[in-house]
Amino acid sequence: MNRPHRLRVSVVVVTKDRPEMLAGLLASLVGQSLEPDEVLVVDNNSTRSYLPVFEEYRPRLPLRTVVERVPGIPAARNRGIAEATGDLILFIDDDCRAEPGWVERMVRPFYLNPHIGAVGGEILSETRAGGLVEQFCVEETLMRMGRSDGGAA
């Protein structure tokens, strides 16, 4: 296949007031089979401090952080797009955990066809359909149960 250049990969995550959730996500981005060129955290005007989390992960990830003061997910994601340097922008939420091959598998299809503009992956819920409400969500396929350990690639 003709490949003019390698595609730069930015992972963008929006977060607000839950540093411990973000820490779990960042942990899942360490040691990906394809390391992203940058992990951009957009703090949507949190009142809680993310500094300890950022300090912990800065040596382990190509981490960049920005603060977006305009509240709301679309504004924060647009800030992420504006700040990101990648040819590809991968969005993931702070309450998610990526499997170890996630970045690579999201990036691959873009090499396949230059007309692919968007790639979507599978979202599983942590295995624990405890209460009736969660059983309802499973029955209506609002959520699909998956592995709580993030699974093997």
Partner 1 sequence: MIIDITKCGYQRGYLPRQGIGAFHAFFPTANAAFRRQALQAVGGFDSRCATGEDIDLCIRIAQADYELWFEPTARVTHFHRYTLRGLARQWFQYGYGHAYLFRKHGAKHRVELYRYDRSETDGGPFGISRVLSIPFPIPGMIFLSSYHALHLGVIAALVAFGAGAHVVGWSALAAALLFAARYFGPRFNTGSPRRSLALAGIRYLADSAYVVGGVMGGITQRMIFLEATFRTRRGAPPRARAGRAPVEPLSIGEASDAT
Q: Footprint of partner 1 on this chain (CB under 8 A)?
A: 1, 3, 6, 21, 24, 34, 70, 72-75, 77-78, 81, 84, 86-93, 95-99, 101-102, 104-113, 115-126, 131-137, 139-144, 146-148, 150-151
DSSP state of 49: -
CB of 41 to partner 1, least distance (A): 15
Burial label for 36, CB within 10 Å (0-12, 13-18, 19+), is: buried
Smallest distance from partner 1 to CB 69, Å: 13
Bridge partner list, 41: 13, 65
Whole-number minimum distance, CB 97 to partner 1, in Å? 5
Nearer to partner 1, 55 or 82 (CB): 82
Which residue number, 52 or 72, has a Cβ lying nearer to partner 1?
72
Tell me the C-alpha distance between 146 and 144, whole Å.
6
- Asked whether the beta carbons of 48 and 19 are under 8 A apart, the reply is yes
- Which residue, 63 or 98, is less far from partner 1 as judged by CB? 98
The single residue listed with the structure tokens 């647009």 is 78
55 versus 69: smaller Cβ distance to partner 1 = 69
Rg (CA), the chain: 16
